[in-house]
Structure 1
Amino acid sequence: MTHAREDFTVMDATVTTFGKQKFVAVSKSLALFLFILFIGCIIGTALLVYHLSSCQPMSKLEESTLIVYDKFADVEATTAEPDDGSAPETEESVISTTTEGVKTESEVGDVRLPRSVRPHSYNLKLIPFIVEGNFTFHGEVTILINVTVTSHNITLHADDLIIDNVLVREHLHSNKFLSIRQVANETKRQFLIVYLNDPVEAGRQYFVSIRFRGVLNDLLQGFYRSSYKVNNETRWIATTQFQATDARKAFPCFDEPALKARFQISLARFKNMSSISNMPKIGRPEPVANLPDYVWDHYQESLPMSTYLIAFVISDFECLTNGTFSVWARRSALSQTKYALQIGPQILEFYEDFFGIKYPLPKTDMIGLPDFSAGAMENWGLITYRESVLLYEEKVSSKGSLQRIAHVIAHELAHQWFGNLVTPVWWSDLWLNEGFATYVECLGANSVNPHLKELDQFVINELHGAFMLDALKSSHQISIKVNNPDEINDIFDRISYSKGAAILRMMQHFLSMEVFQRGLNKYLKSRMYKNAEQDDLWRTLTEQSHEDGVLDPNVTIKEIMDTWTLQTGFPIVTVQRNYENQSVTFTQERFLANNDNRSTNSVLWWVPVTYADPKKTLASVWMRVEPVLTLDLNLSVDDWLLVNVNQTGYYRVNYDARNWNLIIEQLQKKSGHLDFDPKNRAQLLDDALNLASVGYLDYDIALNVTKYLKQEREFVPWKAAFTSLDYMYEMFVRTAHFDKYKRYLLDLLQDVYKEIGFDERENDEQLVVYNRFEVNNRVCRLGVRDCVINSIRQFETWKNSPYPDHRNSISENLREIVYCTAISVGGQAEWDFAWERYLNANVENEKETLLMALGCSKEIWILSRYLEWAVTERSGIRKHDSARVFAAVANNAIGQQLAYRFLKTNWNRLRTYLGASSMSLSSIVRSCTVRFNTQVEVDDFKTFLKSKEDEFGVALRTAHQSIEQGEANVKWMERHSGKIVKWLTANV
């Protein structure tokens, strides 16, 4: 439906004129009359103030705009003129601003909107003022609503907005307005409630028109401002980030994913700028009344979609285009969009084939933003990115960033089906969005880079990462009840993303890819432009798996998968062989990082057990929510047994000591490790070391597994080994026994370091490049002279170059190592040089590399200054990079306590600077505390958390996870450090 277009006008400023004073003479009787009138006015004013004393106080937003607008309360009482310009029916359209009848914050319960009213379509008009000192916006939204239950109020969302007036009418061009009793804000639930004297009736449609104002904030949430510089001139951008609950910061709306509607958007902009939104533009730009420098851009009405997927950007950016696919960036970075423009359409085409459904929108825009809180956001038809995960510059960006860009683009494009076309009913099933996108991104990225063995890398990048968090008692279910925005933001974590992806991969393997795809196609087609819950997916997949005969007719997918999505944690499957009668017993229990109460771990799962032996015999069996399962296997006493083939199942595996030793013997034979797939070699290393850390396995056995690494040359197993061995590094680096760990790791690395070398070779495969980075990173960090000297030499060559910002001979794939090593052994001169390069860099990947390296300094005062700059306006560090700085400093053994002390001392400052609901706070809390391994450290953080618990908000779960991890680290030191030191001493 096309609505009439209406121009906005800007309020005229009040002008006070000062001139020559004039005097008037009055009689005594007139003076007495005026005095009595004056007293009466005072009394009347007092009564009026008393009468209005129930009005809500001025909001923070109003205070920030007080200089320009000084007469608006939180919900303003005004009489509005209808769209057609005729006089309003005054008595019926006056709005009261009292809060009578509104729940107090202490009485607030459910944060979900009532379902008596649902939106059908929106007509949204916005004018952002991107001018230094006046970062505000004006807007009007007209919402066509469907009434499902007769009601005397209309409730929607608004947050940090000033509401100028509200109108409710049955027909858009009617002069007949519904009488409004009051309009109130319920700030706790971020509700805007319109109370009516006459009800809106079920089965009818009404138009709700709202004029409002807001601030283009600098917190990277809602409708916000960003900037960049060109020749020291600041260029401003107005852009959006609405997921999960921030569309309400930009315009009043029904801000829940299930309340889909169509949107027609109009944006006002400077004539020399451009705008983009979800849909293509229609018509030509039109002038804005009373704003001669502005024009309107009007956009096609969208398909039905959720509010969190709305997006718009006003900037002076430019784009490169391939058909209906465009990539936008700053002019100076436009050449860096070529790779994204190359692979984007290819991945989109792959998904059209994979899902069996054509991409439903007429165009796709992708844009790299200078300031962006997330990595990227899947807004339908306009995907927004942090520059570093979209833009690629040859000879500057590393091969790793090339893969990272492919993954992020594939992730966001996967959302165009999973999340956008079919959307979860509520955030409890966020994982349906993020888990699917995380798994399918590997397939999409693999379609353009098949040589990278993406599905092998999934094991180390997603599966093992999910295990680390999910082993904590403070983990959470994949599908979890959430209410307020902090709780919703809190579950954008490894559980929703990586665990969600891992269980989908597991399901795909026990169903087969063909059945999995057919089921997905049916699911998506049945729910197009609608919403779904996980049970809808389970139902469709059950039908398909029964139809194709891959699942027992008496078993449902829901029955299996509920044990994975509705229970916290994951199982450890213990394999006990009877070498006399050739039977094997499998038992399952929950794996926990703090394993003091094993007897209480009574939760059970449907576990798809796969296994193999030296004869390459492959088989599978279900553990059907049972603690014990016994099978008869025809295995020789000298044959090893491997369980969880290719680690497709989301569980760890332990064996009896004899089977472990059989596996170790096979690994240590010359080329014997090649009998195991690289994914299983990664699994054996990861499982063994993690099982030992918790007490399931003797550390002697676990460390014996690592001995074979001397002959390992594949990236995936080495990466898995480094993850676990790095944990030992963190535990020992501040102890007197670090030298033993150092000698053993260097012994493992000696041959592969000599073979792989420090310098790159022209024909190196990408996984070889990755492995060289991982090996050299550890060798340099452990102070090997050859590696350190190589780094210093290359850094000095760059430093002494006459044009260091344009000539850098250091390989882009080794810069992080070279920079960090040179800065760590250098002083202020090296740090200042790198900082200057950071400020001057035009490629965001290079800026991120430098930011991490700057945290490698050994100078405490430099690290202290660096942390200070991370939370200082105009220091050169963008807000979305503040957490990166804290991670860089905390990752430095010298900087760890420094970062934590800064966190405690500057807690209020951090919350103010980043925003109390910023997910960067969670990242900072985690990086500053996760390495604690003494009781003193853990207890100190507990005390701090207790004193500030009400202020942690979105970071609260992270804080509890850090405490649990810290306590596990303390127990690890007490129980295992002595034994490990003894083993290391004997095996170097």
Structure 2
Amino acid sequence: MASDRDILPDDVKPTNYAISLFDLELGGEFNYQGTVDITLDIKKETKEITLNANDLKIEKAELSTEVGKTQQSMRSTQTLYDHQTQRITLTFDDPIPPSSEAVLSISFSGTMNNIMAGFYRSRYKPVVPAAKSVPRDDEFHYMFSTQFESCDARRALPCFDEPNLKATFDFQIEIPDDQVALSNMPERDVIKGKHKGNKIVSFERTPIMSTYLLAWAVGDFEYVEDFTRRKYNGKSLPVRVYTTKGLVEQGRFALENAHQIVDYFSESHGAMENWGLITYRTTAVLYDELKSDQKYKNRVAYVVSHELAHQWFGNLCTMQWWSELWLNEGFATWVGWYAVDHLYPTWNVWGQFVTESMQTAFQLDSLRTSHPIEVPVRNALEVDQIFDHISYLKGSSVIRMLSGHLTVEVFLKGVSDYLKAHKYGNATTDDLWSALSKASGQDVNAFMDPWIRKIGFPVLTVAEEPGQISVRQSRFLTTGDVKPEEDETTWWIPLGLKTGSKATNLKTGALTVKEDTIRGVDENFYKINTDQTGFYRTNLPPARLAALGEVREKLTIQDKIGLIGDAAALAVSGDGTTAGVLVFVEGFKKEQSYLVWSQIISSLGTIRSIFADDPKATEGLRAFTLQLVTQATDKVGWEFAPEEDYLTGQLRALLISTAGLAGHQGVVSEAQRRFSAYISGEENAIHPSLRSAVFKIAVSEGGRSAYDAVTLDFLNTTSVDGKEIALQALGRVQTEELAADYLRFIFSDRVSVQDVHSGAAALAANAKSRLHLWNYVKTHWTEVREKLGGNMVVLDRFLRLSLSKFASLETEKEIADFFKDKDNKGYDRSLGVLSDTIKGNAKYKERDLELVREWLKAHGYLN
């Protein structure tokens, strides 16, 4: 309810902003000056106006109103800052009368910071000579852009920074003549600036939108352009990709996707809105056909699709409040993959979705410290911590489940009606359910409400009898110790059951009670949750899981992924065993699908990580992994055929990396040979899609010399993905000395804030370095906090990546004790998630360690 929210007073609302930025200090302190004229609708007489501002200095504020035909102007006599709520209250001596055309004029100053929030600066290495005015130091050049979601527009200008306080925006900025300015709308005009060598660029008025959607960028840019093939109001729309100079050709792949996606979404959603400036990290929008790892092609296509989806889900129709963030992000995630599947049907992106997105969502949502998809948010400053796997990935998984039930056609019809009914406005989850109910003739709210507003998800436990099965739903927790009061939700569960010799669908509908019996099941073969469409785990009798392993030809790729993921998760919770997982995946030695192998290796990676502290289990699981992947690795080989499909290339990269890191001597030798040639100057010695695998193997096997060589590659690479790949590889260090060197390196000025995550994640995944990482965080907390804490989203994500792999109750207590007396605002939710995760890991290790050792020894993987 709105009354539970800490929001701005509702008696003053903005209708338009006229923003002007000038005196940009392109160097030194990077300060700037600005003015904003906000047209206000004042509902009742007041002496105060409260709005948002953060890290801004208010120089002066004046209000102009019209009473009758008389223009009145008054100056604010007091400005009160509330730093905790990031608000300012402007006080006036005389009462302000109600008015729909009052104009609040504020002069202010701010800083183009380096924390990726608000109006901020980014550094880059130029690849061609840059414009003279571009700020630079000995190594880097600088460009400037904005990041306002969720609550950082207030860092750039005073504003009413809440999603339902929509307005139009007029924007202008004074910049050097030789640079380019961009904003949400096309340029309106360019005039001479007040300073010599400057110009003032102004832009057309935006549609009605939320403050977090406002955007601009300044830099030494160039662009490639294409046009939509469909006509809108008789014209094709221009679509552009801007880059810093010298990189523009690497934007062509994103451009090729963008104009097709705009047309496809317009067909699907029945409308098109001509607005938008979307900003990306380079690895999310640039792709070099000759130098980039193929996996980044998939990433670019998806991220472009996701962000363009926000033109509808977010821009045109915005959630009413941050508690309904999933209406933006869950939809954009599902629709993004929907578009990529349309453009690249051979990629099998729904298989990718099941092995990546769903499994990741399951992992977080199986903790007590998870949260519902729609989570109460009292203050907007709390929302950053729910930009997480629940809002994005569980949200999109539930949408996929619902669209599969209603059919995609009916689902999109309801969504289109929802968008039209709330265009240029704000909407709630109930508004969406109403539109879908009307389109489908079903009571969508009744069966979807628990999925959105209740925490967690169910596991379906199956018991077999001749010709029938019984199914029972209960909440799934990683720790396996669900209490009765935690298991009160009854979910609507689409069963999706196929059975018989031809694996035909059995019309079973959905489970809407705690327990039921299903008849007509052929005990020779059945599979629940076909294609893993439903967001739930399935706990099969061990003999049934083994039997399904013998008839893999009847299973789809998504089925296989789901069975592997479920078995591994049930081993963690104690509902299954690690031995059962190992027996099941042993049968996949001849598997040819990259996506299935990806799930196998991910699940094995979790198991190996949990038991990494035990030398015997570690050695046995390494031997198991090596034997499992050797045949497939030898078959796929090292060479890429000219017309080879994308998934085969990704399979090669995955298997070579896994086999090499598990000690496959042939792979290690070949990787070292190619690495040696590469660092000697033979760039073509390593295929771009194998750089990650070869670098990781080289660092793992090569000690100091390999570490230094990859570090040098990081510093000098001209490849778009080169820095990310090098950072991930350097995390494979095997000694305490190199781990210490690497930690100093990633927290040095040589590594940007956004790249720290790659290094931390790699160190945490490496059992030999994760404790060094935690010790570094403890002993250098002030430094870590200073580098990452300017933007709490960055610090929050760093902690989750760095500390979630432990499986020790002692370490969990150590982490809790370390943070207990600190100001944990901005990452407190993550500390709870970490505690829950580590306790679950520790409980699993304690329960299964001896059994794992015994199984590995009995099957010849341990002496």
Do the two structures share a fold, i.e. TM-score over 0.5?
A: yes
Q: Does 1:863 align with 2:742?
A: no
In the superposition, relative to structure 1, how do residues 575 and 202 fare at CA in structure 2: closer, same or farther (>3 Å)?
Answer: farther
Q: Once the two structures are superposed, what CA deviation does each residue of 1:85-132 show, in whole Å capped at 9, x if it has no partner?
A: xxxxxxxxxxxxxxxxxxxxxxx9953111111111110001152432
- Aligned counterparts of 1:757 and 1:699: Cα–Cα separation in 2: 30
- Aligned counterparts of 2:360 and 2:573: Cα–Cα separation in 1: 17
Q: Does 1:841 align with 2:717?
A: yes
Aligned position for 2:568:
689
Q: Does 1:394 align with 2:289?
A: yes
- Aligned counterparts of 1:719 and 1:827: Cα–Cα separation in 2: 28
Contact 1:414 1:437 in 2 (8 A): yes
Q: 1:529: how far off?
A: 0.7
Q: Does 1:959 align with 2:831?
A: yes
Aligned position for 2:147:
241
Q: Where in structure 1 do 4 or more consecutive aligned residues deviate above 6 Å?
A: none
Q: 1:576: how far off?
A: 1.6
Alignment of 1:781-820 (within 5 A): 781-801=661-681, 807-820=683-696
Q: 1:955: how far off?
A: 2.0
Find the partner of 2:322 among 418, 423, 427: 427
- Aligned counterparts of 1:834 and 1:879: Cα–Cα separation in 2: 20
- Aligned counterparts of 1:830 and 1:791: Cα–Cα separation in 2: 12
Q: Once the two structures are superposed, what CA deviation does each residue of 1:755-781 show, in whole Å capped at 9, x if it has no partner?
A: 112333334321111122222221111
Aligned position for 1:557:
444
- Aligned counterparts of 1:746 and 1:935: Cα–Cα separation in 2: 30
Aligned position for 2:82:
186
Percent of aligned positions with the same letter in both sequences? 30
Alignment of 1:362-761 (within 5 A): 380-546=275-441, 551=442, 556-579=443-466, 582-600=467-485, 601-615=487-501, 616-623=503-510, 625-631=512-518, 633-636=519-522, 638-655=523-540, 657=541, 660-668=542-550, 672-737=551-616, 738-761=618-641
Q: 1:296: how far off?
A: 0.6
In the superposition, relative to structure 1, how do residues 702 and 134 fare at CA in structure 2: closer, same or farther (>3 Å)?
Answer: closer
Q: Once the two structures are superposed, what CA deviation does each residue of 1:884-919 show, in whole Å capped at 9, x if it has no partner?
A: 121222222221111111111111222212234432
- Aligned counterparts of 2:392 and 2:335: Cα–Cα separation in 1: 11
Q: Which runs of 5+ in 1 are unaligned?
A: 1-107, 362-379
Aligned position for 2:233:
none
Contact 1:151 1:201 in 2 (8 A): yes
Contact 1:883 1:921 in 2 (8 A): no
Contact 1:333 1:842 in 2 (8 A): no
Q: Once the two structures are superposed, what CA deviation does each residue of 1:712-739 show, in whole Å capped at 9, x if it has no partner?
A: 2212222122221111111233312222
Alignment of 1:884-903 (within 5 A): 884-903=758-777
Aligned position for 2:6:
111
Secondary structure class of the residue paired with 1:967: helix
Task: State the TM-score, normalizing by the size of structure 2.
Answer: 0.93
Q: Does 1:765 align with 2:645?
A: yes
- Aligned counterparts of 1:840 and 1:982: Cα–Cα separation in 2: 48
- Aligned counterparts of 2:171 and 2:837: Cα–Cα separation in 1: 47
- Aligned counterparts of 2:373 and 2:62: Cα–Cα separation in 1: 42
Q: Which has the larger radius of gyration?
A: 1
Q: Once the two structures are superposed, what CA deviation does each residue of 1:181-219 show, in whole Å capped at 9, x if it has no partner?
A: 532112211111122343334453311000000111111
- Aligned counterparts of 1:745 and 1:729: Cα–Cα separation in 2: 9
Q: Once the two structures are superposed, what CA deviation does each residue of 1:421-453 show, in whole Å capped at 9, x if it has no partner?
A: 100011111111110111111111122222101
Amino acid across the alignment from 2:611: F
Q: 1:624: how far off?
A: 5.8
In the superposition, relative to structure 1, how do residues 234 and 759 fare at CA in structure 2: closer, same or farther (>3 Å)?
Answer: closer
Using CA pairs under 8 Å that are at least 6 residues apart, name the structure with larger relative contact order, 1 or 2.
2
Aligned position for 1:75:
none
Amino acid across the alignment from 2:489: V
Aligned position for 1:338:
252
Q: 1:603: how far off?
A: 2.1
Secondary structure class of the residue paired with 2:246: helix
Q: 1:152: how far off?
A: 2.8
Q: Give the superposed CA RMSD.
A: 2.0
Contact 1:347 1:447 in 2 (8 A): no
Aligned position for 2:112:
216
- Aligned counterparts of 2:644 and 2:249: Cα–Cα separation in 1: 26
Aligned position for 2:810:
936
Aligned position for 2:210:
306
Q: Number of matched residues?
A: 834
In the superposition, relative to structure 1, how do residues 109 and 188 fare at CA in structure 2: closer, same or farther (>3 Å)?
Answer: farther
Aligned position for 1:287:
192
- Aligned counterparts of 1:646 and 1:228: Cα–Cα separation in 2: 43
Amino acid across the alignment from 2:818: F
Contact 2:76 2:90 in 1 (8 A): yes
Task: State the TM-score, normalizing by the size of structure 1.
Answer: 0.82
Deviates more, 1:863-872 or 1:173-182: 173-182
Aligned position for 1:973:
845
Q: Once the two structures are superposed, what CA deviation does each residue of 1:299-333 show, in whole Å capped at 9, x if it has no partner?
A: 10110011001111111111111241111112121
- Aligned counterparts of 1:479 and 1:625: Cα–Cα separation in 2: 21
Q: 1:233: how far off?
A: 6.4
Q: Once the two structures are superposed, what CA deviation does each residue of 1:531-568 show, in whole Å capped at 9, x if it has no partner?
A: 1111110111111111xxxx3xxxx2111111001011
In the superposition, relative to structure 1, how do residues 829 and 736 fare at CA in structure 2: closer, same or farther (>3 Å)?
Answer: closer
Secondary structure class of the residue paired with 2:435: helix
Contact 1:916 1:953 in 2 (8 A): no
Aligned position for 2:266:
352
Q: Does 1:326 align with 2:198?
A: no
- Aligned counterparts of 2:715 and 2:572: Cα–Cα separation in 1: 43
Contact 2:54 2:155 in 1 (8 A): yes
Contact 2:469 2:517 in 1 (8 A): yes
Secondary structure class of the residue paired with 1:889: helix
Q: Once the two structures are superposed, what CA deviation does each residue of 1:504-525 show, in whole Å capped at 9, x if it has no partner?
A: 0000011011110110110111
Q: 1:596: how far off?
A: 2.2
Find the partner of 1:147 among 16, 25, 42: 42
Contact 1:486 1:953 in 2 (8 A): no
- Aligned counterparts of 2:774 and 2:379: Cα–Cα separation in 1: 28
Q: Does 1:316 align with 2:220?
A: yes
Contact 1:148 1:202 in 2 (8 A): yes
- Aligned counterparts of 2:612 and 2:638: Cα–Cα separation in 1: 25
Q: Once the two structures are superposed, what CA deviation does each residue of 1:464-505 show, in whole Å capped at 9, x if it has no partner?
A: 110011100001111011234552100011001100000000
- Aligned counterparts of 1:204 and 1:850: Cα–Cα separation in 2: 57
Contact 2:499 2:506 in 1 (8 A): no
Q: Does 1:925 align with 2:799?
A: yes
Amino acid across the alignment from 2:672: I
Aligned position for 2:235:
none
Contact 1:179 1:198 in 2 (8 A): no
